[in-house]
Amino acid sequence: MVIPNQNWSIYFYSVLRPEPDRFPYPTYGCLLRRAGMRLHHVVGGLYRITPDVDKFQELSPNEVLEIPMQFRAWTASRGDVFPNWFVSAPKTKARLLQSTAREDYGFIEPFTKPEQVQRDRHDKFRPYTPEDRYKTASISSNQNKDFNRPLVPTPRLVDIKDYSNTIKIDIKTWKIVVTDREFTKEAKFLSDKTSIGLASGDQSKAKIIVFTKTDEEILGIQGNAEEAYVLEIGIEEEKVTIKSRTRAGAFYGAISIIMLNQQVTSKTELELPVGTIKDAPRFGYRGLMLDVGRNFIQKVDVLKTLDIMALYKLNKLHLHVSEDEGWRLEIPGLPELTTFGSKRCLDESKANPCLPPALGSGPYTNSSGTGFYTMEDYMEILKYANDRHITVIPEIDMPGHARAARISMKNNEEFKLTDDADNTKYEAMAGYTDNAINPCIESTYKFIRHIMAAIKKMHEDIQPLKVFHFGGDEVAAGAWASSIQCMKLMRKDNDIKRYFVSRIAEIASELQLDLAAWEDGVMANPTKLYPRKFFKNPRLPLSIYPGICDLIKYSPVEFCFGPFRATKTKSKIVVLCHATHLYLDHAYEPDPEERGYYWAARYIDTYKSFGYIPDSIYDNVDNSLFGIPISKEKLCDGDACVPLTKAENIIGMQAELWTETVRSPEHMHYMLYPRLLAIAERAWHKASWETVEKQGERIQKKNNDWAEFATFISDREFNRLEAMGIKYRLPLPGVTVKDNILSAASVFPTLVIEYSFDEGKSWSQYDKPVDIKDQRTQDNSKPLLFRSRSHNGQRYSRVVKKEV
């Protein structure tokens, strides 16, 4: 079949703009002269290339055509190229280009040259060598396994003399007893998770786990005492006691029993160390944000995430349910939000209306680009979360990041989000020119009220809604410059953003809701918050702080931390979400094979998240975006570092999983775990090394703590995650060779490392240093291969090659 010179298009998605110097392209497309093709911008990051009638030469079978294009900015990862390109022609169904319909980057040539992995001449980051990984792994690989860490996150006070002195709990003979009905649900939760039966409240019996309410102040804790508990194991023979003042504390006591169990895989018994734990969290807010707007995350995967959050004592699930690329929650009375706004596909015939393909979702609706939670789904998520003492905070992002809502409502006059007379030309994030709802028309606020009231109603009988997150971030400059309605409004109020925020605050106040927003959503300008008087809701609004520098220029010496300005005033309370340490959409390594973004930091590995110091953000400084070392002194020269003056305004911290590159549950697991466990550790437990003044001493003590943590995670928690079906990221092993002796190590020490001397035909388990001369029997020029293996033997890391 000959490919003709007309009437077909190849569609692809790119976050990097092709041929940027020629944008905006002409209506008939930008000519790619060498290929005889034309490049067209469809919407956002979606582009298509078509044959030029005069320049394109018909292609015969097996002929190859190269189509050179230049792209804006840098690329240092094969993951920057999105999959699922497709071809379309009139009166035919779009077809995926099968070579691109894969998630292993196999359709992209390997990045092997320095200029492919370095962003510019200032970039000091290189892909790790086997020796680099060996050096990193040595921090944790030399740790003695006999350490005194009972569980993750680390409790406040532990009195366990001997971890080998244990009490064994036979699930058939032991019982769970509740002495106060208030703790009935917590006792049932523990019973369901352990298969230990419930019994009446007789405390005189042996072989019982007792839930007891106490009015005593636990540890003299203030602030987060509501979640404090005492766990006594075997202090009285064959008895375990959970004491707490509240249901939340009782729940975390039950969780600690589950996590202390040394027989993780046993179905017949628990084994707990004898001793006492007195515990309470560092922060009252310990969160995870899931972006289900860009790519949809199925309900079953959200529920599994809630299970894991509960185990590691995270208590806030921030659901980002709307985006430019999708609306994900059914709203009564507004069916178009989901019948149209939850679907992505190519619909040239307009027979099956949908949003356009984006983020590599392809032309069909059977991908992660499509999906939504019905009211029943959402309420099931709420109940599941509530049973695990996790608060769900819904986010409807506006006025920007709202293309799905805006396009969905364009024919609904009552709830319309656009001014028909507005012909403003602007460009927002991801290349959209129409993603902001109009804040100057009353139907916008009718829509917002309807949404907020509907979501509040869904929460009502399960988990009453207290906080509504309105996003507020990254609104394109001049988004309504030509809106007639906004011109009229500005005669009365010349600050449209302030007007929008105050109107939302007014609606929230009427519905008795507190507000949350991303930081720039409540900033009058880059250095000033809106005054408290603009917020009429019952309590102080919550500002989620993204941690992006105000002066970020991607310069080789820039460091991505903003000042603590939101904590200088009582007008805001703050949840820390610094992108440099807590954004789990970023790559684990500075490697072109790693999934994830790298705009805030070239990489964020588990060690980096573990080392985050929320109480002193400037102590987190290490390297610039381009790998140039930066000291705290250099960063804070003069008055550049605003001091923290209202520490009480920081109520917690939160991990973020944005989903531009997350298109499957496996991708989600890979990006979340094990980093989320390190963030849970920091949110619950303040390590002693965090307050050490001298940097060198602080790093050494942190490394000692990390070694224990990494060993515990790999020895205990990876088994737990595997049993739950979680496909956490397996690290690449480190390798070094000296005097023909090969040594290997893993950053998570108890993971199995395998090696091959015959190009992968056979694999051996690494147990101790290997003499290469004794192993090699044939071609000595072949590279040695290494990989990590999961505990259950079902998965492997990428393969590491070591030339010797």
Angstrom distance (rounded) from CA 184 to CA 470: 36
Residues 647/346, Cβ–Cβ less than 8 Å: no
SS3 326: strand
Q: How far apart are the C-alpha atoms of 183 and 556, rounded to whole Å?
A: 55
Query: Both 652 and 550 in a single domain?
Result: yes
- 254 and 186 Cβ atoms separated by less than 8 Å: yes
Return all residues near 461 (Cβ < 8 A) that are at least 6 apart: none
Helix (H) or strand (E) holding 208: strand 208-213
Specify whether the CB–CB gap between 140 and 706 falls below 8 A. yes
Q: Find, among 475, 469, 411, the residue nearest to 438 by Cα.
A: 475
Question: Is 411 part of any domain?
Answer: no
Q: Are 682 and 608 in contact (CB under 8 A)?
A: no
**Interatomic CA distance for residues 147 and 262, integer angstroms:** 14
Cα angle, residue 98 at apex, residues 95 and 102 outer, rounded to 5°: 120
Shared domain for 162 and 69, answered yes or no, is no
Give pLDDT, residue 559. Answer: 32
Co-location of 683 and 701 in the same domain: no
Residues 107 and 161 in one domain: no
**Cβ neighbours of 477 (radius 10 Å):** 8
Shared domain for 528 and 674, answered yes or no, is yes
Residues 301 and 267 reside in one and the same domain: no
Q: Considering 246, 279, 312, which residue would you say is the last residue of a domain?
A: 279
Half-sphere exposure of 564 (CA within 13 A, CB side): 22
Residue at 261 is within a domain: yes
What pLDDT, on a 0 to 100 scale, did the predictor assign at position 569?
Answer: 46
Q: Residue 304, SS3?
A: helix
Left (φ > 0), alpha (ψ -120 to 50) or beta: where does 214 sit? beta
Distance CA 35, CA 229 (A): 69
User: Are residues 73 and 90 located together in one domain of the fold?
Assistant: yes
**Entry field: residues in the chain:** 804
Among candidate residues 687, 708, 739, the one where a domain is terminated: 687
Ordered mean pLDDT values, 10 residues apiece, the chain (804 residues): 86 97 95 96 98 92 93 92 96 94 94 92 94 94 71 96 94 94 96 94 83 82 81 92 96 98 89 96 96 99 99 98 99 98 90 93 97 99 99 97 98 96 91 96 98 99 96 92 93 90 93 89 80 65 41 29 42 82 97 96 97 92 89 80 80 96 98 99 98 94 96 96 98 95 96 95 95 72 93 97 89
DSSP-H helix ranges across 181-240: 184-194
Between the alpha carbon of residue 780 and those of residues 345, 418, 696, 774, 775, the distances in Å are 52, 69, 43, 12, 10
d(CA 449, CA 451): 5
Those residues with Cβ within 8 angstroms of residue 63's Cβ, 6 or more apart along the chain or in another chain: none
Q: Are residues 543 and 505 in contact, defined by beta-carbon separation less than 8 angstroms?
A: no
Q: What 3-state DSSP class applies to 158? A: strand
Q: How many CB atoms lie within 10 A of CB 33?
A: 10
Residue 441 lies in a domain: no
Helix (H, G, I), strand (E, B) or coil at 82: coil
Annotate 361-424 with DSSP letters as a single string.
Answer: --SSSSSTTS--B-HHHHHHHHHHHHHTT-EEEEEEEESSS-HHHHHHTTT-GGG--S-TT---
> What pLDDT sits at residue 326?
99
User: Do 162 and 304 fall within a single domain?
Assistant: no
Range of the domain at 621: 285-398+449-474+512-687
Q: What is the C-alpha to C-alpha distance for residues 751 and 731, in angstroms, rounded to an integer?
A: 9
- SS3 label, residue 519: helix
The H or E element containing residue 194 is helix 184-194
**If you ran DSSP here, which 8-state letter would residue 796 be given?**
B
Domain boundary among the residues 633, 655, 687 is at: 687
Q: In 3-state terms, what secondary structure has residue 37?
A: strand
Do 527 and 671 fall into the same domain? yes
Let me know if residue 598 belongs to a domain: yes
- Residue 72 lies inside a defined structural domain of this protein: yes
Query: 140 in a domain, yes or no?
Result: no
Scanning 642-765, the segments in alpha helix (DSSP H) are: 665-672, 675-684, 695-712, 718-723
Helix axes 247-260, 299-311, angle to 10 degrees: 90
Give the residue numbers marked as catalytic: 474
Same domain, 703 and 750: yes
Look up residue 252 and give its amino acid: Y
In angstroms, rounded to a whole number, what is the distance separating the alpha carbons of residues 713 and 151?
9
Strands 770-771 vs 391-398: parallel, antiparallel or unpaired: unpaired
Query: In the beta sheet, which residues pair with residue 514?
Result: 467
Residue 131 parent element (H or E): helix 130-141
Closest of 145, 148, 150 to residue 260, by C-alpha: 150
- Give dist(CA 330, CA 372) in Å, integer: 7
Question: Within a domain: residue 502?
Answer: no
What residues form DSSP beta bridges with 661?
A: none
Question: Where do we find the tokens 């971890």?
Answer: 163
Biggest distance spanned by C-alpha atoms of the chain: 93
How does DSSP classify residue 669?
A: H
Do 328 and 238 reside in the same domain of the chain? no
User: For position 182, which CATH number holds?
Assistant: 3.30.379.10
Per the DSSP assignment, residues forming a β-bridge with 239 are: 208
* Co-location of 80 and 227 in the same domain: no
How many domains is the chain built from? Answer: 4
| Residue 2, domain member (yes or no) | no
Dist CA 612 CA 686 (whole Å) = 10
Q: What are phi and psi of 770, to 5 degrees?
A: -115, 135
Helix (H, G, I), strand (E, B) or coil at 236: coil
> Measuring CA to CA, which residue among 531, 523, 571, 564 is closest to residue 547?
564
State the CATH number of the domain containing residue 51.
2.60.40.290
Q: Do β-strands 275-279 and 285-291 pair in parallel, antiparallel, or remain unpaired?
A: unpaired
Cβ partners under 8 Å of residue 169, min gap 6: 194, 196, 207, 209, 240, 269, 270, 271, 272
